Amino acid sequence: MNENLSNYRLNELRTKLSVRPLDIMLVGVTGAGKSSTINAIVGNDSAKVGVGVNPETQDFKPYYLNEYIRFWDTPGIGDLPTKDEINMQIIGSYLNEQIDTIIEDRVVGKSYLIDIVLIVIDGSGRDLGGVYKLLNNTILHNIDTNRILFVINQADVAMKGNHWVNGKPDDVLSDFLNRKTESIQKRIENEIHRKILRPICYSASNEYNKKVLIDYILDNMCKTREI
């Protein structure tokens, strides 16, 4: 497939993001598919992908879709507790980093580097412990809830690979995924005692719903970044 998204909604992006790129940080447990998601969107294999549950991303790297959208890959959570603690501290430092806002070569103020945190959830399982750990220990302390989006990757293996037909879910799997997104939304809201936007499902490895994923990000981006 490898559909090029670099020009997708480009005129709108030029209007809304004239000062600097929209910076989107992907976080999640090891194996959820953060790097695969970046590769599916950006359209190359720049982000190294781990095999199975073995982590590949060891640091924080930016990847440009175009001059208006930039993704940040991060190490996964759920390996060693000591490493998790270090990675979460670094995630927090990135979320608190501020940069100059420059208009016509003049500094007019400061803004946070990271505009949106995209929490990638493994759609093949039920355990949200790592997601809760990220939220409670780091994310919620450093960024407003309206700048956090939840997405569910690996829709193709949500029912152990069953009911995935010709690169998309059949009616049975579609119904299952619909119920899964509702369940995950409720579970996260009960854990953090805050409302969140309903997650969307996609498959990075099959490039299923990747335009839906981009639309989800752009339609819900922080309003203060419409400059």
What would the pLDDT profile of 154-195 be if each residue is shown by its tens digit?
999 999 999 999 999 999 999 999 999 999 999 999 999 999
In a domain, 146, yes or no: yes
In a domain, 191, yes or no: yes
Classify residue 36 by burial, with Cβ atoms within 10 Å: 0-12, 13-18, 19+.
buried
Instruction: Write down the pTM of the prediction.
Output: 0.91
Q: What is the mean pLDDT of residues 107-115?
A: 85
In a domain, 53, yes or no: yes
Output phi, psi for 217, to 5 deg: -70, -50
DSSP three-state, residue 32: coil
In a domain, 204, yes or no: yes
Q: What is the pLDDT of residues 56-100, one digit of tens each?
A: 545 788 999 999 999 999 999 998 899 999 999 999 999 999 987
Work out how many domains the chain is built from and give that number.
Answer: 1
The residue to which tokens 């999640």 are assigned: 28
Which runs of E-coded beta strand occur in the chain? Answer: 22-28, 61-66, 69-73, 98-103, 106-112, 116-122, 148-153, 164-165, 168-169, 200-201
Gap between the Cα atoms of 176 and 159, Å rounded: 8
Predicted local confidence at residue 26, as pLDDT = 98
Predicted local confidence at residue 53, as pLDDT = 41
Gap between the Cα atoms of 49 and 55, Å rounded: 8
Q: Does 52 have pLDDT greater than 90? A: no
Domain that holds residue 67: 10-225
Q: Residue 87 corresponds to which tokens in the numbers above?
A: 């990675």
Angle (deg, nearest 10), helices 210-219 and 34-42? 100
In a domain, 24, yes or no: yes
Predicted local confidence at residue 55, as pLDDT = 46
In a domain, 177, yes or no: yes
Tell me the CATH number at 78.
3.40.50.300
In a domain, 4, yes or no: no
- Percent of the chain at pLDDT > 70 equals 89
In a domain, 71, yes or no: yes
pLDDT band at 50 (very low <50, low <70, confident <90, very high): very low
Judge contact between 163 and 170, C-beta under 8 A: yes
